[in-house]
Amino acid sequence: MLVFPNAKLNLGLHITERRPNGFHTLETVMLPLPWCDALEVLPAAETTLTLTGRPIPGDPATNLCRRAYELLQADFPAVPPVHLHLHKVVPIGAGLGGGSADAAFALRALNTVLQLQLTDEQLEAYARRLGSDCAFFIRNEPALALGRGDELQPLPLPQLRGAACKVIYPNLHISTAEAYAGVTPKAPAHELRAALAGPVESWRETVVNDFEGSLAPKYPLLGELKAQLYAAGAAYASLSGSGSAVFGLWPELTQPPTMALPAEYLVWDGQL
């Protein structure tokens, strides 16, 4: 079975509390971004994982696709071995949730290939054990994410359907843990659901990603890229998640405008 784990974007991100276990309470809206890896799951004589495409830092034994299989195998010891092949496209350390998507899509594909008949609720419970962002990718639809980022409420965003979008990854790896460590939690100035109900042009004043302020002193480039997206006419521009990817939205266009950017940056142009 071949699946295409897609990335996500965050619209607004409020970090409201640091918990004693080091995790943070947040509120954010996540929406699927059709920038995809490719993942194949096949029955095999022994369980293996092969990787192509963008190099993934860390030991392949801890790859989230493999960990997804191991989680299911622990509860269903009779499942047969599988071969997993991941072709990595989505940049890492980007705030695009690429690894989390691989984990969730692996769970979904294994559920089908191994005929486990798990419900979405059960798959979400497994996904939560692999990472805060993972549960979002089980249903993979726009959602308000609360708690650790894994308590999901569907939130349709009809005003963005078909909107032109540009995502810029400035070849800069920002670790999620490092980004959270630099944030001082605070109460949000605007209620996110209410702010997103307004026209996209109003979001510039009301929809805030709290990581932008804390990352700005170390990475002024992120603010510069956002300013460039606004100069190119974006109705809204923001950092995604904990960065370093920055995106712009043009709801009136089907393709974003061309921008002159350094050759080493990765740029995704498309429609939501």
Ligand X SMILES: C[C@](O)(CO)[C@H](O)COP(=O)(O)OP(=O)(O)OC[C@H]1O[C@@H](n2ccc(N)nc2=O)[C@H](O)[C@@H]1O
Decide: helix, strand or coil at residue 7. strand
Among 23, 40, 54, 140, binds ligand X (CB under 6 A): 23
**Partner from ligand ATP, ligand X, none binding residue 94, C-beta < 5-8 Å depending on class:** ligand ATP
Contact present, 65 and 39 (Cβ < 8 Å): yes
Decide: helix, strand or coil at residue 262. coil
Q: Does the active-site annotation cover 88?
A: no
Among 180, 203, 236, 250, binds ligand X (CB under 6 A): 180
* Contact set for ligand ATP, span 45-104 (CB under 6 A): 56-58, 63-65, 86, 92-100, 102
Q: Does the active-site annotation cover 133?
A: yes
Of 40 and 151, CB closest to ligand X: 151
Could you give the CA distance from residue 221 to residue 209 in angstroms, rounded to a whole number?
A: 16
Residue 42 CA: distances (Å) to CA of 49, 191, 216: 11, 45, 44
> Binding of ligand X at residue 26 (CB under 6 A)?
yes
> Binding of ligand X at residue 238 (CB under 6 A)?
no
Question: Judged by CB under 6 A, how many residues of this single chain contact ligand X?
Answer: 20
Residue range at the interface with ligand X (CB under 6 A); choices 17-25, 152-160, 212-220, 253-261:
17-25
Which of 37, 102, 133, 210 is the catalytic position? Answer: 133
15: nearest Cα among 219, 188, 191, 245:
188
In degrees rounded to 5, what are phi and psi of residue 110? -65, -35
Question: What DSSP designation does 214 have?
Answer: H
**Distant-in-sequence contacts of 138-141, Cβ < 8 A, 24+ apart:** 138/104, 138/107, 138/108, 140/6, 140/32, 140/104, 141/32
Residue 4 CB, nearest distance to ligand ATP (Å)? 13
What is the per-residue binding string for ligand X in 118-157, x denoting contact by CB under 6 A? -------------xxx--------------xx--------
> Binding of ligand X at residue 6 (CB under 6 A)?
no
Could you give the CA distance from residue 201 to residue 272 in angstroms, rounded to a whole number?
A: 17
Of 241 and 251, CB closest to ligand ATP: 241
Contact present, 150 and 242 (Cβ < 8 Å): no
> Which residues are the active-site residues?
8, 133
- The residues of the shown chain that bind ligand ATP, judged by CB under 6 A, are 56-58, 63-65, 86, 92-100, 102, 133, 175-176, 241-242
